[in-house]
Structure 1
Amino acid sequence: MATARRIAHEFLERRGLTTIFGNPGSNELPFLAELPETFRYVLGLHEGVVVGMADGYAQATGLPVLVNLHAAAGSGNAMGAVTNAVHARSPLVLTAGQQVRSAIGLDAMLANLDAPQLMRPLVGWSGEPSCAGDVPRSLAQAVFEAELQRRPTYLSVPYDDWDAELDDNATATLDRRVTRGQAPDEEQLLALAGALESAASPVLVLGADLDAAGLFDRSVALAEQLGLPVWVAPSPHRLPFPNRHPLFRGVLPAGIGAVSGALAGHDLVLVLGAPVFRYHQHVPGRYLPEGAKLIQVTDDAGAAARAPMGQALVADPAPVIESLLARLPARPASGAAAFAPTPEPATAKTALHPEQVFAALRDTQPADTCYVVESTSTNAAWWRQMDLRHPGSYFFPAAGGLGFGMPAAVGMAMGLPGRPVVGVIGDGSANYGITALWTAAQYHVPVTFVILRNGTYGALRWFSGVLGTPDVPGMDIPGLDFTAIAQGYGVPGVAVRGLDELRAQLKTATAGPRLIQVDTELTTPE
């Protein structure tokens, strides 16, 4: 008879989950014993970094990823990063060790008394096997739930279960397959096409799910055929449309009244692959302009159900886009026909303006570079200077949780071999995931970290003005030397102050990780 461990390893190998991101504790060692040589274990020094790396890897590959966490304390350390993975719809399979079954009720050290509750309501499913014989089935459910829901799942396993010998019924899990189909019917497609044809001034609002589903180019084809202006939904964590395309109007602001104002003049808003909407700043107002209707197309049933306005079609956006392309005739677009040029970057007196840094990245890095951005105070400067025309070019912490950027850049680079990856990280954000540098060094990950150092929490300073709280403490973070920190973790680091020096460093090829620290002027998100 095979052990629960052996069956679990074989199931994971058959499903392709052979890259494990983890930070193990004692409870996890029995699962990791006898790990086949075909598996790769990527060690992180903090559980939040581990989940951030796995999140980046999952978004890069589009595949579920196994994460190995430690009991309650380690899982708790990971929860901040899990919020980003939830909103990015990353299919992470989070596993955690549990005390031996006889010690759980005693609240022994490293026991988790109610393990399935710990990650709720963040994860889409969580569980603990009812007995050792249920381990393979429970693991399979965790994987299938993550795939079907496109949301992290959580499985706690008592560590004495892994050595249990199981009967032949347990091996039935090995051949299981669970697939999903979600195509709209003919009546729904006709109604949607009719609504677009009859609208006097329709507009497209595209979401991150389109880029995740590989629909970047098809989104461009739809906008161009219908000649429709395109906005990106508020608070995007991926870019579903080229940001200098002549039909691109920008990223919608993240306030209710501000969204309504931006969409003024349109009578139909077609939202593809996005919630309606991810608001942030409290800007009261109408949800939509007077007389406007909204239709949302998403495969996320929860996002459709919680929307406060409009109609929703719960369906895979891919067949919807293809149907609209087939049914609706081409119509000319108004306005410019060429990609918009980038403006001259703003300058500053005492340090580089972030626009100068982004212009240098744009001019020196390959066109298909994947940028992982976690510098919230420089959003406006970023969109003014960047020219992103390829799928998978932009990633941002989906829930706004700091600590995503550096680990995710490592995970992205591991999941996208051969594609350049650059992490653009603020000095405040960098400290939340700084130990990702060690993993990048140990695994020789070819990733560039550009640290924008302005010595303060820039986004908080902006919010202090928005909220009328200018006198709060804890805004400044002077005295940080990221080049010394990087070198301590084994990553070459260099500090630059001038634009020519920055461009020269960015043009330098590197086979492994590197860090470039650049002092920048304080700016605001908008």
Structure 2
Amino acid sequence: MPSVRRVAHEFLQRQGLTTVFGNPGSNELPFLADLPDGFRYVLGLHEGAVVGMADGYAQATGRPVLVNLHAASGSGNAMGALTNAVAARTPLVVLAGQQVRPAVGPEANLANVDAPSLMRPLVGWAAEPACAQDVPRALAQAVFEARLQRRPVYLSVPYDDWAAEADDNSLHVLRRQVRRAAVPDAGQARWLAEQVTSARRPSLVLGGDIDTAGLFDDAVRLAERLGGPVWAAPSQFRLPFPNRHPLFRGVLPAGIAPVCAAFEGHDLVLVLGAPVFRYHEYLPGRYLPEGTRLIQVTEDASAAARAPMGEALVADPGAVIRMLTEQLQAPAEPVGPYRPVPAPARGEGGRLHPEQVFAALREVLPPETAYVVESTSTNAAWWRQMDLRRPGSYFFPAAGGLGFGLPGAVGVALGSPGRPVAGVVGDGSANYGITALWTAARLGLPLTIVLLRNGTYGALRWFGDLLGVPEAPGLDLPGLDFTRIAEGYGVPAVHAGDEEELRAVLARPADGPRLVQVDTSLTTPS
């Protein structure tokens, strides 16, 4: 009989999980032994960066991705990055090494005591097989759980299991497939169509799941037939709709009272592919205006169950979008032209305004560029200047956990060969995932990193004012030169001193990773 390791490798190969993101420890080496031809191991220098890269790669490819982490210490290092993957509903299969079985009970060094509990309730499923012969089945369950739930899962495997002999039953996993279909039945479809077509002033709220599922263009067709305003759901991590489209009203504010105000005057709010809602700032008020009805359509049963208001249909948003588009009449007149971009604000004191930086990106980089953004204090400036009309154009840390930007850009670039990719990061967030630059250099990825240096945690300064704590300690970051840091990791870097120099650098084709540092004035997220 083949070994457990061989069965596991063949199963992963058949399922297409042949790109492994990892940072190995001793417990992981037996799994990595004898990887078959066709497997690719992407090394990250810190587990947070490893998960961020895998998150970006999985979002770019739309497929589950294997992450290999070390026991408790490596898994713990990765948990902050996992919060973003959970909020983005990214299907990561996290496979962690465990001490040999006889050493777990006595808590030998590098034993992960009660490994599944370590990652709960963060991941959607966590386990450690009861015996070596159950490893192939448990690995299959992990892959299918990640695919079905669209959420990270965690499997801890004692490293002596990999060399054990598999049994006959283990081989059944090689032929397994699990598929999902969630189309509304005739009654549900009729009910939903009646609610939408009878609404006098409907509005549409689209979540990141719309872009994740490849429904960007379908959502545009539905919105133009519906004719009402379109919002992106609060705390948006993907852009589900062209941001300068005449129907687009922007990203909903992440507070209860301002969301309610945005819906004033609308009798129906149709939410597709989003939770209801991922609030951030605590701004209490009514959930909905008087007379406003909300209907949510999502594949995420948990999101449907926990929503505090409205009606929910757990179904494939793609099927619902197609059904409603067929039910609605085409508009008598085409929608108007896309909204123009305003002239960018100007910086002072030798610093560029972030709007000048974003205007340069929009005008110089190709229109199909995918942007991975982690510059939270410049959020308002970003949306004022960008014109994004293509699917997969925008990626943001879904849970707000810093450290996604640089690794996520590496993962998106790796998963999108042939498409220009740019990471836009602040000097505060860059430090959390800086080691991803080494991986970008090793892989030779054609990736542009634009680093906005304002010398402070700008978003926290804004929050300090909001919370009445304007002089909190630990908010300034003087003396950081990312050009020297990047070059130490093997990434060519330049400091662009003015707008002309920035545009000249961006105009040169990126034949590998490069970092452009720009000094910018302090702005606020809104």
Bin of the TM-score, shorter chain as denominator length = over 0.9
Greater Cα shift, 486-495 or 160-169: 160-169
1:280 correspondence with 2:288: no
| Aligned-pair CA distance for 1:359 | 0.3
CA contact (8 A) 2:202 2:226 kept: no
Q: Which position in structure 1 is the counterpart of 2:348? A: 349
1:270-419 equivalent positions in 2, closer than 5 A: 270-332=270-332, 337-350=336-349, 351-419=351-419
| Aligned-pair CA distance for 1:289 | 1.3
| Aligned-pair CA distance for 1:310 | 0.5
Q: Which position in structure 1 is the counterpart of 2:102? A: 102
Alpha-carbon separation, structure 2, partners of 1:29 and 1:292? 57
| Aligned-pair CA distance for 1:328 | 1.8
Alpha-carbon separation, structure 1, partners of 2:339 and 2:166? 63
Alpha-carbon separation, structure 2, partners of 1:474 and 1:332? 57
Q: Which position in structure 1 is the counterpart of 2:126? A: 126
| Aligned-pair CA distance for 1:333 | 7.4
Q: Which position in structure 1 is the counterpart of 2:520? A: 520
Local SS of the residue matching 1:452: strand
Q: Which position in structure 2 is the counterpart of 1:37? A: 37
| Aligned-pair CA distance for 1:347 | 0.5
Q: Which position in structure 2 is the counterpart of 1:423? A: 423
Alpha-carbon separation, structure 2, partners of 1:492 and 1:395? 24
1:268 correspondence with 2:287: no
Local SS of the residue matching 2:188: helix
CA contact (8 A) 1:420 1:447 kept: yes
The one-letter amino acid paired with 1:324 is: L
The one-letter amino acid paired with 1:478 is: P
Alpha-carbon separation, structure 1, partners of 2:169 and 2:310? 48
Q: Which position in structure 2 is the counterpart of 1:439? A: 439
Q: Which position in structure 2 is the counterpart of 1:23? A: 23
Local SS of the residue matching 1:165: coil
Which string of whole-angstrom CA distances, capped at 9 and with x for unpartnered residues, describes residues 338-395 of structure 1?
Answer: 0000000001212000000000000001111000000000010000000000000000
Q: Which position in structure 1 is the counterpart of 2:78? A: 78
Which string of whole-angstrom CA distances, capped at 9 and with x for unpartnered residues, describes residues 250-307 of structure 1?
Answer: 1100000000111111110000010000100011111111210000000000000000
Alpha-carbon separation, structure 2, partners of 1:278 and 1:9? 38
CA contact (8 A) 1:47 1:69 kept: yes
Local SS of the residue matching 1:174: helix
Alpha-carbon separation, structure 2, partners of 1:330 and 1:295? 22
Q: Which position in structure 2 is the counterpart of 1:88? A: 88
Alpha-carbon separation, structure 2, partners of 1:201 and 1:227? 9
Q: Which position in structure 2 is the counterpart of 1:169? A: 169
Q: Which position in structure 1 is the counterpart of 2:495? A: 495
CA contact (8 A) 1:224 1:333 kept: no
The one-letter amino acid paired with 1:124 is: G
Percent identity reads: 71
1:485 correspondence with 2:485: yes
CA spacing shift, 1:12–1:180, aligned 2, 3 Å: same
Alpha-carbon separation, structure 2, partners of 1:415 and 1:197? 40
Alpha-carbon separation, structure 2, partners of 1:279 and 1:250? 16
CA contact (8 A) 2:142 2:155 kept: yes
The one-letter amino acid paired with 1:173 is: V
1:160-239 equivalent positions in 2, closer than 5 A: 160-239=160-239
Alpha-carbon separation, structure 2, partners of 1:269 and 1:117? 39
Alpha-carbon separation, structure 1, partners of 2:30 and 2:319? 45
CA contact (8 A) 1:227 1:333 kept: no
| Aligned-pair CA distance for 1:332 | 5.0
Which string of whole-angstrom CA distances, capped at 9 and with x for unpartnered residues, describes residues 101-143 of structure 1?
Answer: 0000010000011001110001000001110100100100000
CA contact (8 A) 2:47 2:69 kept: yes
Greater Cα shift, 393-402 or 194-203: 194-203
TM-score of the two chains, using structure 2 as the length reference: 0.99
Alpha-carbon separation, structure 2, partners of 1:197 and 1:170? 52
Alpha-carbon separation, structure 2, partners of 1:502 and 1:265? 45
Alpha-carbon separation, structure 2, partners of 1:139 and 1:345? 51
1:155 correspondence with 2:155: yes
CA contact (8 A) 1:227 1:332 kept: no
Alpha-carbon separation, structure 2, partners of 1:135 and 1:284? 48
TM-score of the two chains, using structure 1 as the length reference: 0.99
Local SS of the residue matching 1:2: coil
CA contact (8 A) 1:227 1:330 kept: no
Structure 2: state its 5+ residue gaps: none
Alpha-carbon separation, structure 1, partners of 2:361 and 2:310? 40
Q: How many residues align?
A: 525
CA contact (8 A) 1:405 1:430 kept: yes
Local SS of the residue matching 1:432: helix
Alpha-carbon separation, structure 1, partners of 2:110 and 2:29? 13
CA spacing shift, 1:309–1:164, aligned 2, 3 Å: same
Alpha-carbon separation, structure 2, partners of 1:75 and 1:341? 46
Alpha-carbon separation, structure 2, partners of 1:177 and 1:488? 45
CA contact (8 A) 1:23 1:44 kept: yes
| Aligned-pair CA distance for 1:429 | 0.2
CA contact (8 A) 1:228 1:333 kept: no
